[in-house]
Structure 1
Amino acid sequence: MSMQATPEGLPDGVSGTDLREAWRTGRVFGPPIRRTFRDVIADRLSDPLPPQAAMLFEPLADPHWDSDGFFLGDFYNEILHQDTCHPYTAEGVALLAALSVDGRVPPQIRFQTVVLLFEIATAADRHLAQCWPDIPPHADPESEGRARDAVRFCIPDLLARWAIECPAVRLALAGIAVVFPTVRTLPALTSRLQGFAEQHPQGTDIGDYVRFVLILAAGDDQHTLTAVETLTDAYWTGTARRAPARARALHLLGQMLTAVGGNLRLQR
C-alpha cells in the first residue's frame, strides 16, 4: 500500500492525530464518494479490514481529498494494479463486493465495482488470450487464483440484487454470471435479459453484448468460438486463433463490457 505523508488539500495546521479524530467522528475531509465508501465498509465489514481500506479510514493514505475521479482511480488501482492481480487483490474483493450491493453507492459507481470484479475474475484468461502464445509478462497464477475464488464466493450476493438493480448494473452482473456458470445460469439469464434483447437489436453494443452473454451461458464451445470470430472481425481487438476458446471469449466479453459502459455514460 502506498501511503502519502503530506496529501494535497489538507487543512493547514492540522495534525495527523486531529485528522484521525475528525475522521472517526464524522468530521471528515475528502470527496463525497470516499465518505460514502467509508460508511458502507464500516457498516458491512468488520476488523481486520483489507489493507486497501486504509484509503478510506486513514487520513494520510491518499492525496486526492477533493476529487471523486482521482480518488476512485487510485482506490481501484490499489485493488487491481494496472489490470494485474497481486497478493492483496483477493482481500480487496471484499471491499468491492460490499460496495456493489449497497444502495448508498450511486448506480454508476456500482456498475464500476461490478466491472472491476469481472476484470479480477477474468484477469488470467484475458491476459492469456492477449499474449498467446507467450506467457503474460506479469502473470501471478497464485494471486490470480485466490482473487478469482474470492469473486466466486461473492457471486450469490451480487446476483440476489438483480430484481432491485438498475439496468446498467444488471448488464454488468450478467457478464460476471457467465464467468462462473451453473446449470441455472442460462435459463435465468434468458428470461432476465429478454427485455434488453428486445430493446437493443443485434449490431448495437448492448444488443451484441447481451446476445454474446447468452451464448456463453449456453456453454456450447463451437457456438462460442463462432461468435468470437464473428464479433471480433466486426468490432473488437482480435486474439490468436490458437489461444484457448474460453480465454478468447472472456477477452472479447471484457472489451464489450467496456463499450457498454461507455454507451451508458453517453446516455446519462
Structure 2
Amino acid sequence: MAGWSAMAGTHEFVVPDDVHAQELARALAAHGFAYVTARPHVGEGWTVTALDEGPYPVDTTGQRMMNAVGRAAAAIARQYGGYRNGGSRCDVSMLHIDRDSDAPIVCTNPGVRPPTPTVVMATPPPAAPLALTPDHAHDIPINLSGLDEIAWADLDHAHGPAEDIPDLLQALTDPFGDWAQTLDELFGDDLLHQGTCYSATAPALPFLTQMIVSGAVPAKQRLDLYVWLLIAAGRWSAGLLGDAEQAAVQHRPPQPQAWTLDVHFTVDEQLPTLLARWETEPPAVRFVLACLAGVYPHHGRQIGDRIAHMAQELTGTQAGAYLHLTHALVHGRDDPAIAIATDIVAWQDSHDPGWLDIPDLTIAVKASQILTEGALHQLSNTE
C-alpha cells in the first residue's frame, strides 16, 4: 500500500444461479454500491462483484472500515443464498481496472456509497519482553527414532512426494547446519506452505517433540519448534472459520480443510509431554506452551494455575492479555474469553474483527484463532 493516496476495491460473493445473481446485484446497488456486476463462477454458480469506491484511509482503520462494509454486504448476500468469495484492495486511481463492463449482469447506482461505520483503534498495551533464559542445552546427539519407519515417499507436501522430509528433519539435528533456512524450507515451503496442511504434515510433527525433549536444542531453537507446533495446531480452527459462512448458506456444519484435523490431533497427542516441561522452560517458551494449552483446554487445565500466575505477572501488557485469554479458554469460561478477545481485537491490527461474528462456531474456536494468530506477534519481543 506504499504510495497509495486512498484505498478502494471490490467485494465478491458466490450465489447459486443467474436469478440469485440478478437479485443480489440489485440489492447491493440499492445498499449503496455504485457499480455491481455478475458473471458465471468458475465451477458452478455465479460471482457477484461489488465495486467499493471508498475512499478509505490507507491504514488499519481503513482496512477495518472496508472489511466492515464487506461484512454488511455479506449479510445481504446470505439472503440470496450467497457467501463471500474474497475481493480486492487497490489505490482509488486503479479502481477502473475492476469495472467489468462486459459482464452479463450490471447494476449501477451512481453517486452513492454504502453505510460506513466509524472505526476507532484502541491504544495497545505495552509489549512485554519474554526471556529465553535460563537455558540448559547439552552437546549431545539427537536420535530421531522412528523416522525411517514412515513411508515418506507415499506422502505429499506442497511440492510433491515427501521423500525429502527425513533429510530435512535430520538436518535440524546438525548443530553446525543452517537452522533457519532448513526450518523455513521444511515448514514454510513444504509442510505448512501458505498455511496449508498436507498428508506429510502430521507425521513430521512428533519429531519436533523428540528434538525439544532431547536436551540438545538451545532455547531459541526450541522456541522455533514450539511456534511451528502452534501454527500447525491453529490450521484446524482457521479452516473452520474460513468455511463457516459458506456452510451457513448451504445449511451444513463448517468443515475443516484437508489434513488439518490429523494435524490438530497429532499436536494434541504431543501436548502432555510438552506441558510437562513447563518448569524447565524459559518464559518465552512458557508463553507458547500456555497458548497451546488454550487450544487444547482438556490438557491445559493441568497447568491452569501456572498460566494464571504468569498472566498476573504480565497483566497490563500485550502478552498478558493473551495469557488471560488462554486462562479463560482453559477453564471453559466463554463470557470472559469473548470479552478479552474483543478487547485484543480492538488494539491488535492483525486480527479480523469478523472472526468474532462468524456463525455456527463456538466461542472457543473463534477465540483460539485470535490466540494462535496473536501469539506470534508477541515473540518478536524475546530476549
TM-score (norm 1): 0.70
Q: Which residue of 2 aligns with 1:73?
A: 184
**CA distance, structure 1, for counterparts of residue 346 and residue 202 of structure 2:** 35
User: Is structure 2 residue 267 aligned with structure 1 residue 148?
Assistant: no
* RMSD (Å) for aligned C-alpha atoms: 2.8
Aligned 8 A contact 1:225 1:249 in 2:
yes
Tell me, yes or no, if structure 1 residue 263 matches structure 2 residue 381: yes
d(CA) in 1 for partners of 2:340, 2:312: 19
Displacement after TM superposition at 1:131 (Å): 6.5
Give distance in 1, aligned partners of 2:235 and 2:376: 14
- Asked whether the 8 Å contact 2:195–2:235 carries over to 1, the reply is yes
Gapped regions of structure 1 (runs ≥ 5): 1-35, 59-64
Can you list the C-alpha shifts for 1:19-60, whole angstroms capped at 9, x where unaligned? xxxxxxxxxxxxxxxxx9x94244x445325652222458xx
Match of 2:216, SS? Answer: coil
Name the counterpart of 2:364.
246
Distance 1:238 1:115 in 2: 21
TM-aligned CA deviation for residue 132 of structure 1: 5.1
Which structure features the higher share of strand residues? 2
- Give, in angstroms, the shift of residue 104 of structure 1: 1.0
Is 143-152 or 225-234 further displaced after alignment? 225-234
Match status 1:185 vs 2:300: yes
- Of 222-231 and 190-199, more deviation after overlay is shown by 190-199
The structure having more radius of gyration, on CA atoms, is 2
Contact 2:201 2:263 in 1 (8 A): yes
Checking the alignment, whether the CA contact within 8 Å between 1:41 and 1:95 is kept in structure 2 is no
Quick check: 1:97–1:158 contact (8 Å CA) kept in 2? Answer: yes
TM-score (norm 2): 0.51
Provide the C-alpha distance between the structure 1 equivalents of 2:242 and 2:379, rounded to a whole number of angstroms: 21
Query: Identity rate of aligned residues, in percent?
Result: 22
Partners in 2 of 1:167 and 1:251 — Cα distance?
22
Residues 5-29 of structure 1: CA deviation (Å, up to 9, x unaligned): xxxxxxxxxxxxxxxxxxxxxxxxx
3-state DSSP of counterpart to 1:75 = helix
CA–CA distance in 1 between the matches of 2:328 and 2:206? 29
Q: Could you tell me whether the CA contact under 8 Å between 2:237 and 2:256 is conserved in 1?
A: no
Deviates more, 1:94-103 or 1:167-176: 94-103
Give the letter for the 2:380 counterpart. Answer: G
Aligned length: 216
Deviations 1:149-181 (A, max 9, x none): 111111111111112112111111111112222
Matches within 5 A, 1:1-268: 39-42=141-144, 44-45=145-146, 47-49=148-150, 51=163, 52-57=165-170, 67-77=178-188, 78-129=190-241, 133-134=245-246, 141-182=257-298, 185-186=300-301, 188-202=302-316, 204-236=317-349, 237-240=351-354, 241-243=357-359, 244=361, 245-264=363-382, 268=383
User: Whole-Å Cα distance in 1 between the matches of residues 203 and 322 of structure 2?
Assistant: 30
